[in-house]
């Protein structure tokens, strides 16, 4: 895939395009992109994805903190894996936000990106006049010499897959359903930083993860079975992980949320190293135990559950 900005010379004469923020590049996005690619192949044109570097609301509302499913770098990697020809990444600005849908179609899509066919996601709207709908886009396209097509949605169990649906699953700890919607396990990446150092005394030393992006969504608190990958020593490894997201109430560590993973069958120093955690299953809620002995007993049970779950994946 070739990544473009509006200032670049186009590597094609005309294209079939779609536009979206594509947070998470879930199976709904993938289904839309494949429709774009199929349409482009039928017409002998290039396929183009148009997206934004930052969430539009971050530009318009300085205090807005999106709960992202993917960082910009992760999104670009996932979009590249779809096999589309090009991706135009736009820097969302107040000037761009002030454009009407018709202006955007003419000045950006037609004049700058040479879009001949625009495929609209089933629920997508753009332009400051977000009251405009698909019928309006078709009319604007007719005036501009641009064909506008409506994409089919992708559904699971009667629910149209969207970024909002995936976020709702993760906020409820339903990581299995999130995996089905994404087409892969949801993942958090970050650097291992100093934590509370309580795990060593319990026989379960943990790596305290600081996510790369504070805007990345952290799933509902609790204990999870995860795959952990990264350069744990001098080589990249992937292993079984027992993850706790929460405030560690048994150990009275206050109300600050931590993301701590115990790597099964691993011994070594992980401080300063980057890890990626892939969520497989949620085991239980975090809860307060009467003493450390009870907590250790529960951790042994959690470890057995993690081993059994991950042996199936």
CATH number of domain containing 33: 3.40.50.620
Is residue 111 in some structural domain? yes
- Residues 11 and 86: beta-carbon distance below 8 Å: yes
* CATH of residue 297: 2.40.30.30
Is residue 3 in some structural domain? no
| Total domains in the fold of the chain | 2
pLDDT interval class at 63 (50, 70, 90): confident
Is residue 169 in some structural domain? no
Is residue 15 in some structural domain? yes
Q: How many CA atoms lie within 13 A of 77 on its CB side?
A: 5
Is residue 166 in some structural domain? no
- Residues 243 and 195: beta-carbon distance below 8 Å: no
Is residue 171 in some structural domain? no
pLDDT interval class at 77 (50, 70, 90): very high
Is residue 228 in some structural domain? yes
What pLDDT is recorded for position 55? 82
Kindly state whether residues 244 and 204 are assigned to the same domain.
yes
Kindly state whether residues 155 and 14 are assigned to the same domain.
yes
Whether the per-residue pLDDT at 127 is higher than 90: the answer is: no
Is residue 4 in some structural domain? no
Kindly state whether residues 147 and 198 are assigned to the same domain.
no
Q: Which segments of 102-235 are extended strands (E)?
A: 115-120, 147-150, 155-156, 159-160, 187-193, 207-211, 222-231
**Least reliable range by pLDDT among 25-34, 84-93, 258-267, 290-299:** 290-299
């Amino acid at each position: 895939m070739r990544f473009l900005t509006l200032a670049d010379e186009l590597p094609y004469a005309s294209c079939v395009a779609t536009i979206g923020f594509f947070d998470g590049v879930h199976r709904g996005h993938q289904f839309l992109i494949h429709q774009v690619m199929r349409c482009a192949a039928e017409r002998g044109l290039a396929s183009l994805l148009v997206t934004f570097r930052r969430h539009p609301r971050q530009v318009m509302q300085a205090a807005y903190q999106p709960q992202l499913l993917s960082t910009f770098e992760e999104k670009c990697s996932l979009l590249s894996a779809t096999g589309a020809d090009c991706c135009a990444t736009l820097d969302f600005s107040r000037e761009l936000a002030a454009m009407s849908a018709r202006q955007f179609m003419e000045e950006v899509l037609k004049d700058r990106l040479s879009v001949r066919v625009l495929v609209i996601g089933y629920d997508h709207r753009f332009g400051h006049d977000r009251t405009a709908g698909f019928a309006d886009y078709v009319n604007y396209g007719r005036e501009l010499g641009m064909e506008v097509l409506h994409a089919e949605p992708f559904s699971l169990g009667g629910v149209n897959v969207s970024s909002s649906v995936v976020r709702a699953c993760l906020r409820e700890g339903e990581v299995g359903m999130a995996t089905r919607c994404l087409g892969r396990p949801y993942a958090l990446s970050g650097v291992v930083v100093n934590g509370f150092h309580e795990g060593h005394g319990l026989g379960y030393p943990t790596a305290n993860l600081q996510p790369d992006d504070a805007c990345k969504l952290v799933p509902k608190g609790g204990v999870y079975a995860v795959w952990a990958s990264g350069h744990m020593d001098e080589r990249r490894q992937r292993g079984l992980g027992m993850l706790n997201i929460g405030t560690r109430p048994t150990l009275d560590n206050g109300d600050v949320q931590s993301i701590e993973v115990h790597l099964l069958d691993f011994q070594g120093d992980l401080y300063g190293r980057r890890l990626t955690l892939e969520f497989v299953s949620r085991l239980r809620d975090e809860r307060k135990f009467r003493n450390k002995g009870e907590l250790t007993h529960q951790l042994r049970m959690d470890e057995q559950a993690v081993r059994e779950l991950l042996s199936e994946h």
